Every structure is written in structure tokens, then in C-alpha cells.
Amino acid sequence: MKTLTYLILYIFALSVYAQSNKAINKDVDFSFIYRQSEFNLQDEQGDVSLCKSIVQTGVKQIGDLLHFKIPQGGFKDKMYEKAVLKYPEFIIPEDLGNPYDLKSFEATKSIDVERTKKILSCELKKPTKVDPIKLDSFMKMIQQVISEEKNNFKPFAGEVHRWSKQSRRKYFFECPLILQAPKLLAMLATGVSFRFAYTGLEDFLVEEISHFPVRSLYPHDIFRMSYRLNKGNLYLTLLTIENVFSRHWTAPQRESKRVTTRLAHITNDPENDNFGTWYHLFGTMLFGYSHGSFISWSAGVVEAGGSLVASGFKGETQENKINLMGARIGGRIRRLLKSDQVLNQLTSEPRYTDPRFYLNLLEFDCENKKN
């Protein structure tokens, strides 16, 4: 009788496994169109699709390099266009909350011209060599925002997106190297966090940002908005911000997106890619917060090398500085949470949220700036 019971349970377990495995779509085309419909930390379908899309993209780029060609963008877009023909129900709709805003984009041009004049008036040979972020001051800014919100929300770490255990076990041989890396790194490196780590609060953040004048918002403003929406969850605070940018990183004319036009410049590059700067800052902050400063800093170094190759060896000095600084900031935020004493002793210093306090921008002043 006992043997028969075990046999029945075994057959039942096999059928459940077969059904669950059958429900997972392993089609490569599908991997370029799949997206979460709600917040979900454990997502086997997402794990499989993320692995498949990275492997396919990697094969394409390695092939380009073997033929002595610099890998070109647009491959994912072509794969997406192919996928929608097979899976029309998974079409990713245009983000109506963050459309192109040409009127606001025109309004930014005169502001940007004045900014460029101020930077060039400093008469520095290489203004892009000046570090745009003051690390210690930036951390005081983060603490100040948390302090000002402490009566409403107590900060807490939040749970990080990771590969599910069943995915590591079942798909190890299909993409072994990828599954050994942090899932967050895989998402950030390929710019797809909005598809595989959806928080559900992205549209709310976009809506709030869109109410402000052009070029008026700085990091402390965006951090505060997301911190409030996520009720003190610091991981989701950073992830929600990153997802807003992740959705549009391949968009043509992304500088004219409604959100981007509201963001102030935060580098000393007169020809700054403002979208890219914010995208990289919060991406490296997120990874540094989730996996530690050193690992994130190392990833930043690799990314800097990749950017150098992809740009035809044209330096992206300010973006590289942002990558490395963001990693250190994220790690410090995580360590801050481990010190209850520090959080309890936070004092109110409104000047800490003044961009002049935590950003080292030539458009503010040229004093004591060295190449």
C-alpha cells in the first residue's frame, strides 16, 4: 500500500512538473517581447526570457566583432518587430504618460545654450575632467531627504530581484554564465529592467515629474518623489526611477521625452547626453545598493570600456565618472541602513538638498575648479 502511495505521488509530481515546464515559453522571439504585468520578484518565465534574449544578442555582437565590426544598436528593436507578428497580444504600448514633448524640448534649448556659455566661460581646457558629483555631500543629501520624510516613512532595504531557484536548476545548461551573474546586472546591462522588474509605480512617478517646469528637477527631487511613492522601500525607490529611464533608452530623440525635459543637467559636459547621464547614475546607484560598491564599481569599469569601444574610442568622460560615483553612492546608502544610530541622529540641514551643495557644476561657479 505504501509503495502504491509513493508511486501515485511520484506520477503526480511528474505531471505537475511537466505542466509547469510546458507553461514556460522558451521561444527566442518571445524573449524580446515578454514583460511583467505586475510586480513579481520570482518570475520563472521572466528568467527564461531574459536569458534567451541576452544569449541571442550576445551571439549577434560576438559575430560582429569576429568580422571586425563595431556592434551596432537596433538589434533588439528588429527582434521586437519580428516578435510582435507572432505575439501581437504582447505588444508593448507607447508610454502615454511620457510622450515626446516637442514644445518643452524647444523651451530647454535656450536654457541649455546659457548653461553652455557658463561652462565655457570658465576657460578650463577640459571642463569634462571636473567631477560633477561631491560624494560625501551627495550622501548628506540622501540622508536629508530620508530625515525630512521620517515622520511618514521609515526607510527599509527592500527585497532585490534574483534568479529563482528553479530557473538556476532547470536552465543552467542553456545559459550558465548568465545565471551565475546577478539578475539585476543582466537587466541593467541590457536596459530591460522595466520589462523584467516592473514595480507598478512608474506611471505615477512620470505623472508627478511632468508637472514641473523644464530643467527644474535635480537628483534630490526625483529621489524624494520615488521614496514617497515606495513608502520608504529604498530598493524600489531606486528601481522605479531606473525603470522610467529604462523604458526609453532606445527611443529616437529620447532627449525630447517629457520626463527628460524636466531634468536639469548634472554634468560638466557642454554637449551632455542628459538622458544617458541620469539613466547611468540611478542604474549604478541601484546596482551598488543591491550588490555592494565593489562589484558595482567593477561593472562600471567594464561598462566604461564597452562604451569606449562602442563609441569608436571617443571618450565619455563625464558618463564614466557618473558610473563609478553612482556605484559608490549606492553602496553607501545600503551601509547607512545598517546603522540605526546614524538614522536616529539625523539632523535637519535644508542646505543639503541645494544642488550647489552636492553637485560640482561649472554652471554654478568656476571657483576652485581644477582639471
Note the pLDDT of residue 59. Answer: 56
| Cα–Cα distance measured from residue 170 to residue 47, given in angstroms and rounded to the nearest whole number | 11
Length of the chain (residues)? 371
Query: Phi-psi bin for 61: left (phi > 0), alpha (psi -120 to 50), beta?
Result: alpha
Note the pLDDT of residue 298. Answer: 54
| Cα–Cα distance measured from residue 300 to residue 296, given in angstroms and rounded to the nearest whole number | 6
Note the pLDDT of residue 347. Answer: 67
| Cα–Cα distance measured from residue 117 to residue 8, given in angstroms and rounded to the nearest whole number | 78
Predicted confidence (pLDDT) per residue in 127-149, tens digit = 888 999 999 999 999 999 999 99
Residue linked to cell 521609515: 154
Note the pLDDT of residue 111. Answer: 96
Q: Which three cell numbers stand for residue 180?
A: 551565475
- pTM of the predicted model as reported, rounded to 2 decimal places: 0.87
| Cα–Cα distance measured from residue 254 to residue 245, given in angstroms and rounded to the nearest whole number | 10
Note the pLDDT of residue 229. Answer: 98
Predicted confidence (pLDDT) per residue in 63-98, tens digit = 444 444 444 455 677 888 888 899 998 888 778 789
Show the 3-state SS of the chain.
Answer: CHHHHHHHHHHHHHHHHHHHHHCCCCCHHHHCCCCCCCCCCCCHHHHHHHHHHHHHHHHHHHHHHHCCCCCCCCHHHHHHHHHHHHCHHHCCCCCCCCCECHHHHHHHHHHHHHHHHHHHCCCCCCHHHCCCECHHHHHHHHHHHHHHCCCCCCCECCCCCCCCHHHHHHCCCCCHHHHHCCHHHHHHHHCCHHHHCCCCCHHHHHHHHCCCCCCCECHHHHHHHHHHHCCCEHHHHHHHHHHHHHCCCCCCCHHHEHHHHHECCCCCCCCCCHHHHHHHHHHHHHHHHHHCHHHHHHHHHHHHHHHHHHCCCCCCHHHHHHHHHHHHHHHHHHHHHCCHHHHHCCCCCHHHHCHHHHECCCCCCCCCCCC
Note the pLDDT of residue 296. Answer: 53
Query: Phi-psi bin for 215: left (phi > 0), alpha (psi -120 to 50), beta?
Result: left
Residue linked to cell 535644508: 350
For the chain, how long is the longest CA-to-CA vector?
Answer: 90
From first to last of the 371 residues of the chain, give the pLDDT tens digit.
444 443 333 333 333 343 344 589 999 999 999 999 999 999 999 999 999 999 888 755 444 444 444 444 556 778 888 888 999 988 887 787 899 999 999 999 999 999 999 999 988 878 888 999 999 999 999 999 999 998 899 899 999 999 999 999 999 888 888 998 899 989 998 899 999 999 999 999 999 999 999 999 999 999 999 999 999 999 999 999 999 999 998 888 999 999 999 999 999 998 889 999 999 999 999 999 998 755 655 555 445 544 444 444 455 578 888 888 898 999 999 988 877 656 666 667 889 999 999 999 999 988 656 55
Note the pLDDT of residue 33. Answer: 92
| Cα–Cα distance measured from residue 244 to residue 102, given in angstroms and rounded to the nearest whole number | 19
